[in-house]
Amino acid sequence: MTNAPRTEYLYKALGWEIQEYVHYGRLKTTDIKLSKSLMVKEIEEGLVEGYSDPRLPTLAALRRRGYVPSALRKIVYEMGPRPVDATLSWDNVNATNRKEIDKIAHRYSFIANPITITVSGVERTYDAHLPLHPERKDLPDRIFKVVPKNGTANLLISSSDIDLLRKSKVVRLMELFNIEVKSVENNTITAAFHSQDYMKAREVKAPLVNWLPDENNMIGEVVMPDATRTKGPVETNIRQEKVGSIIQFVRFGFGRIDSINNERVTVYYAHR
């Protein structure tokens, strides 16, 4: 016997007025496991580290990764009670959260799995001014200083950009200058100063590459959704942030600061 006939039988027996029933569909997920019993089992067996483990879809885990309450409320309001089943995916959740946190997240540079690029022909010191937030002109810029030694500057880029450099003759180091790639061999990259003007980079359709100076950086660690950890240098400007701050690592993704001190910062990754 289903719940509705059982309830009607009980109400009639007690002489109560029969209620009006409103039936609505279930919430289905395409790539999110919502089984509470499975989560509890994984925690008890030590497969995950508590309810805030990034591999779980709990509110504690989402909060730790940088998902905000306003985004979750919007999803609930937009879906609402429906007479048919509704389907939810991480793409839906991420897109909604991105709209909410993009307007508040300060930008910083993090170089995942870094490699050194040696640039010759750099004849003077350059200051790169990058926005703390692209739409907040009232905020101070992040400033990187590149001081060459004997006309050569060593910079850090992500190893994920190696293929891009192999395909490009000229690339633009974001807000710094343009370089001409000379060789990319065995994770060793050499380049030469090309020009400073951004318009020259546009003329040759040079791709943009994120970078950091090769010294005076903090140690960064990003805990990914599968609990793996990606490491690399982070700019020191991030020291102004506190635990709980939601930030964006440029060209890497959004996340929430889980711990920070003068030397090291740990961020739990949310999404791109």
Q: Determine whether 140 is exposed, middle or buried from the number of CB atoms within 10 Å of its CB (0-12, 13-18, 19+).
A: exposed
Query: What are the pLDDT tens digits along the chain (272 aa)?
Result: 567 788 888 888 898 988 787 777 777 777 777 788 999 999 999 999 999 999 999 999 999 999 999 999 999 888 887 778 878 888 999 999 999 999 999 999 999 999 999 999 999 999 999 999 999 999 999 999 999 999 999 999 999 999 999 999 999 999 999 999 999 987 889 999 999 999 999 999 999 999 999 999 999 999 999 999 999 999 999 999 999 999 999 999 999 999 999 999 999 999 99
Does residue 180 share a domain with residue 119?
Answer: yes
pTM of the model: 0.89
In-domain check, residue 185: yes
Q: Decide if 182 is inside a domain.
A: yes
Position of tokens 């993090």?
110
- Residue 87 placed within a domain: yes
Give the three-class secondary structure for 243: coil
Which amino acid makes up residue 213?
Answer: P
For 184, the 3-state DSSP assignment is strand
C-beta of residue 195 within 8 angstroms of C-beta of residue 83 = no
Region for residue 112 given its phi and psi (left: phi exceeds 0; alpha: psi -120 to 50; beta: otherwise): beta
Strands 264-271 and 218-223: parallel
Q: Which domain holds residue 92?
A: 25-101
- Establish if 227 belongs to a structural domain: yes
